[in-house]
Copies of this chain bind each other. A is one copy, B any other.
């Protein structure tokens, strides 16, 4: 029985898939927080290259991947599709479990799939430096990797508490030549103002976004880059699902269920959209399950409404599931899933019932991660472990019902730099805190009024 389904590099897809082409009606527009009107390409061009602004609203089903981008994808793509024989045997399930392993990229996650084209399009439009924010550091290190390979500069504003608690991610960015700055910093007006108010602040993703956007808006040679949420990011990630579709054919199976964890939504978009596009076109039956943390239950308990993408309210306003832009989820180890909102595309598909969503607790998530490590051998990122928890639940349901379902999930990253979280699990220190519904209801009263 074969375990790994490996494509050679000639099979790196030549085009990305854009699910906007297959939606029954167009996406709601972004609004500008300054004008409270639909945002214009000119406004966006202060911080984004025109190529990406075009991709953000494109209705084309496929967009060609430039040769220079495919050239860098070769450093780690195509990623393997792996059959989890050992996990299946452990669970005694008749289900077949496959995973797409994105941890093979040098920064260790799916994030370079969009960092590489984002760096490329900026370079082509004459930009020399890219600024961004990072929480736990996955995105910052992916952009540092991508800019290094295109010979560009990169400035990463890293949430101050993470900067000191997870120094290895900073070291990684530095090894690739990026500048990594604890945020808030003295570099920007936003940072200075925050430090004046509270010199000991641990920082937040909201402030770090403000600093990175301000840096880009005030320097002509610099643009800003976002690692998730946006439509063009989801589209770049579709390379995961396109490869997986070809590899599932090699394996002689079709997925009945596709599972991924969701924070901003890009890895789930990546694995599922090419399959869901066929579902939207009536060519395929498939279930998709987005898994989020119960401590930040955007899709399962949030409102589908217009809200700010960032805490401070300077970024575009988007129609999405949200817990309110001032909702602050508790500190959990899956830092990449601590976002008050969600990708507008993922939100739309959940709202239209094309995709469903579930929420799981941190302790059961790490229990699943340990089962995975001791059967499949891979130590996975806490974010990915959310998907694995739901995969195990589905596989056990199959055992109970005697169903031979084919389950496909996205193993979005390895856990080599998250091992402290495993220690806390073994020491029984993990919290399963959930905000009461009343708290969520309250923060949803602060949404901006649009339309």
A binding-site residues for B, Cβ under 8 Å: 2-4, 6, 8-9, 72, 74-76, 86, 104, 106, 108, 145, 148-149, 167-168, 171-172, 174-177, 369-370, 373-379, 415-417, 419-420, 422-423, 426
Contact = CB atoms under 8 A, between A and B. Distances in A.
10 contacts: A4-B8, A6-B8, A106-B377, A106-B379, A167-B419, A167-B423, A168-B417, A174-B422, A175-B419, A416-B417
A110 to B, nearest CB: 15
B420 A171 contact: yes
B379 A172 contact: yes
Contacts of A376: 75
Nearest to A177: B374
A3 B148 contact: no
A370 B148 CA distance: 11
Contacts of A370: 175
A370 B178 CA distance: 12
B74 A422 contact: no
Contacts of A416: 108, 168, 172, 416-417
Nearest to A141: B379
Contacts of A377: 72, 75-76, 106, 145, 148-149
Contact of A3 (B75, B167, B177): B75
A36 to B, nearest CB: 43
A84 B348 CA distance: 43
Contact of A4 (B74, B108, B171, B175): B74
Nearest to A424: B171
A177 B374 CA distance: 7
Nearest to A425: B175
Given A3-B9, A4-B74, A106 B378 contact: yes
A379 B148 CA distance: 12
B6 A422 contact: no
A2 B74 CA distance: 9
A6 B3 contact: no
Of the listed residues A3, A104, A369, A373, the one surrounded by the most CB atoms of chain B closer than 10 A to its CB is: A373
Contacts of A373: 148, 175-176
A171 B422 contact: yes
Given A9-B2, A9-B4, A374-B148, A172 B75 contact: no
A415 B168 CA distance: 10
A381 to B, nearest CB: 12
Contacts of A423: 167, 171, 174
A74 B373 CA distance: 15
Contacts of A168: 416-417, 419-420
Contacts of A86: 149
Of the listed residues A9, A373, A374, A377, the one surrounded by the most CB atoms of chain B closer than 10 A to its CB is: A377
A147 to B, nearest CB: 10
Given A3-B74, A145-B377, A171-B423, 4 more contacts: A6-B6, A148-B373, A149-B374, A175-B379
B420 A167 contact: yes
Nearest to A417: B416
